[in-house]
């Protein structure tokens, strides 16, 4: 996904046509997916929500979709997603915001960043002329499709900022701890392990100062926090997608 991107241009891309597809085969090799705090409650019903530390040091929440590299266990044989809630990361594809570094500015409220609409030209949703929906109308104005995409991406971008604020507080608090999952299939079958992820330790959270916990509650962070804890119970459901399971352990 997003192996290459182009900035959308009304002249160069006037003839592009887009068709919504029920297939998410483009995500077949995605073992994990980055998520945002606004999704936690819906995601917790079906996925394990964990945290990872990115190379730059930021903590990002993610869902586990498989237990091996390039494995997504949430797709059926036709590439359809087999649970009701699909992470925003995949619903927005093939569109993404690209930061316009040449037009950043500073304001009294802080740095102002500008984003441009970009897309993956290799995505399977692009179809020949006469099919799907246009990106621009006959006057070169953005179509209803592009308007809805922009609204989705603007919401997603705001959620990314809120998510990084949430995870920075988790990291600073010392509540994040390393965990790994070990899965053993039944009848002497294969063993799998997933490591290098973080979870919020409930004991460490309970030891936080009352003032800190009240602040988190006021910021609306308890809902995603509890959704994260609830989601860890989906480890067995994830493992069962591999086949009959003998045991699942998190340590």
Q: Supply the pLDDT for residue 189.
A: 82
Residue 66 falls inside a structural domain: yes
Residue range of the domain that includes 23: 6-250
Residue 210 falls inside a structural domain: yes
Q: Supply the pLDDT for residue 203.
A: 97
Residue 105 falls inside a structural domain: yes
Distances in Å between the alpha carbon of 58 and those of 76, 169, 211?
Answer: 33, 11, 24
Q: What is the pLDDT along the chain (251 residues), one digit of tens a residue?
A: 888 999 999 999 999 999 999 999 999 999 999 999 999 999 999 999 999 999 999 999 999 999 999 999 999 999 999 999 999 999 999 999 999 876 655 555 556 678 999 999 999 999 998 999 999 999 999 999 999 999 999 999 999 999 999 999 999 999 999 999 999 988 888 889 999 899 999 999 999 999 999 999 999 999 999 999 999 999 999 999 988 777 888 88
Q: Supply the pLDDT for residue 90.
A: 97
* Nearest residue to 30 via CA among 95, 96, 89: 89
Residue 124 falls inside a structural domain: yes
* Structural domain count of the chain: 1
DSSP reduced 3-state for 22: coil
Residue 1 falls inside a structural domain: no
Q: Is the pTM of this model over 0.75?
A: yes
Residue 94 falls inside a structural domain: yes
Residue 33 falls inside a structural domain: yes
Residue 180 falls inside a structural domain: yes
């Amino acid at each position: 996904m997003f192996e290459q991107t182009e900035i959308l241009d009304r002249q160069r891309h006037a003839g592009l046509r887009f068709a919504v597809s029920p297939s998410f085969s483009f995500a077949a090799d995605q073992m994990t997916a980055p998520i945002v705090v606004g999704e936690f409650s819906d995601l917790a019903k079906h996925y394990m929500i964990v945290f990872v530390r990115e190379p730059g040091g930021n903590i990002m929440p993610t869902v586990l979709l498989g237990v091996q590299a390039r494995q997504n266990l949430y797709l059926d044989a036709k590439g359809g997603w087999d649970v009701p809630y699909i992470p925003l990361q995949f619903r927005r594809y093939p569109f993404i915001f690209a930061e316009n570094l040449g037009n950043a500015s500073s304001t009294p409220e802080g740095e102002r960043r500008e984003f441009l609409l970009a897309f993956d030209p290799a995505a399977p949703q692009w179809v020949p002329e006469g099919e799907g929906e246009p990106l621009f109308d006959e006057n070169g104005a953005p179509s209803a499709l592009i308007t809805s995409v922009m609204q989705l991406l603007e919401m997603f971008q705001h959620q990314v900022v809120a998510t990084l604020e949430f995870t920075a507080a988790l990291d600073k608090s010392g509540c994040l701890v390393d965990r790994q999952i070990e899965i053993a299939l039944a009848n002497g079958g294969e063993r799998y392990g997933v490591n290098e992820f973080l979870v919020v330790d409930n004991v460490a959270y309970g030891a936080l100062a009352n003032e800190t916990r009240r602040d988190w509650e006021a910021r609306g962070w308890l809902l995603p926090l509890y959704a994260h804890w609830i989601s860890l119970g989906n480890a067995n459901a994830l493992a069962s997608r591999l086949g009959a399971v003998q045991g699942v352990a998190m340590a």
